[in-house]
Amino acid sequence: MTSTSEDLFDFIASSLKEFIEKEGNASELSLDRRRELGFTFSFPVKQMSVSSGILLKWTKGFSIVDMVGMDVPACMQEALTRKGLDVRVAALANDTVGTLALGHYNDSDTVASVIIGTGTNACYLERVDAIIKCQGLLTASGYMVVNMEWGNFWSSHLPRTSYDIDLDSESPNPNDQGFEKMISGMYLGDIVRRVILRMLLESDMFGPISSKLSIPFMLRTPMMAAMHEDDSPDLREVARILKDILEIPDVPLKLRKVVVKVCDVVTRRAARLAAAGIVGILKKIGRDGSGGITGGRRSEMKMKRTVVAIEGGLYSSYTLFREYLHEALNDILGEDIAKHVTLKVTEDGSGVGAALLAASHSSYDVDTV
């Protein structure tokens, strides 16, 4: 993650080589055909074509300085050649784009995809004539997929607290990925840890302060979710996590309830912000009941069935997060419109979706793919 581009891509190529060798003859190709690869690379890229893109910056703890500004598929292709693999990078995708491809393959009403896991991002299908960057470039369908990189969205309207500001300034990428830091699984547990620490510093509710509580990311989001969803009458799971992970023993029930409330507030805010982002996309493409007419009366418009593909553990595994997100969609859109919008869990868009993209951009006759 912090070495050289050659090390990183050699590692990926070696893993791929192992997989191909293990797979054996299960999908034997005719001798004159190369394997074609869909490559999911979930970092901000300036996409130059279906199979080329320049890395703009690293996120998620990666930091290989010599890679920034380089063509990602070219680096991958060179590593494949070094490892003696006859494989062509046919499509460069982002995990959101792979998820949209898979979602659309299974259900043609899919217009957008959202990842809400360790990080968060979204992409959607946009009319080419609405994309200023395109500068006259046309596609056969008249549409293009836009990878939003919404994790880096920022607005003065976002409800930022002192905990968000501190988390951001102490992170490896300050002033970056502001929206992601309020929503995604990498950060929610740490926001809760910071609130508990502040409560301890400002009162003697929990007794002496544990040194563990001062360590960033000591409380992971799955642990926070386990405390939030603890339905035992004495909140014993909350007590266990506070004792084992944060080394705060003998927390009375009243205070365990306060901790659960903190988890609830942080999770509900994250889910509602994610929902607002989804509605923002639907509004942009006229699928929020307005038909794209600003200030138009919704009741007069026939709302089309609209599917948003969602991938990521925070949404699929965290029941309360999912419920709060659905509740917010209903609040913002109104129930009459929200009932036409389906959020569909889509698994392995990064894998299957990228394979579909590679197949659809194959250099061979599509019928034989």
Average pLDDT, the chain: 90
Query: Could you tell me the pLDDT band of residue 258, with boundaries at 50, 70 and 90?
Result: very high
Q: Considering only residues 239 and 361, tell me which one the structure prediction assigns the higher pLDDT.
A: 239
Structure-block tokens of residue 38: 């869909």
* pLDDT value for 58: 87
The domain ranges of the chain are 5-93, 94-348
* pLDDT value for 369: 40
53 residue type, one letter = G
Mean pLDDT on 178-194: 97
Q: Is 203 helix (H, G, I), strand (E, B) or coil?
A: coil
Q: Considering only residues 298 and 54, tell me which one the structure prediction assigns the higher pLDDT.
A: 54
pTM for this entry: 0.89
The pLDDT of residue 311 is above 70: yes
Residues 115-128: tens digit of each pLDDT: 999 999 999 999 98
Tell me how far apart the alpha carbons of residues 177 and 131 are, in angstroms, rounded to a whole number. Answer: 23
Tell me how far apart the alpha carbons of residues 288 and 28 are, in angstroms, rounded to a whole number. Answer: 47
CATH classification (class only), 94-348: alpha beta
- Choosing among 3.40.50.12160, 2.40.40.20, 3.30.420.40, 3.40.30.10, the CATH entry for 5-93 is 3.30.420.40
Residues 18-62: tens digit of each pLDDT: 999 998 765 556 556 788 999 999 888 998 888 999 999 888 778
Tell me how far apart the alpha carbons of residues 216 and 229 are, in angstroms, rounded to a whole number. Answer: 23
Within a 10 A sphere around the Cβ of 10, how many other Cβ atoms?
A: 18
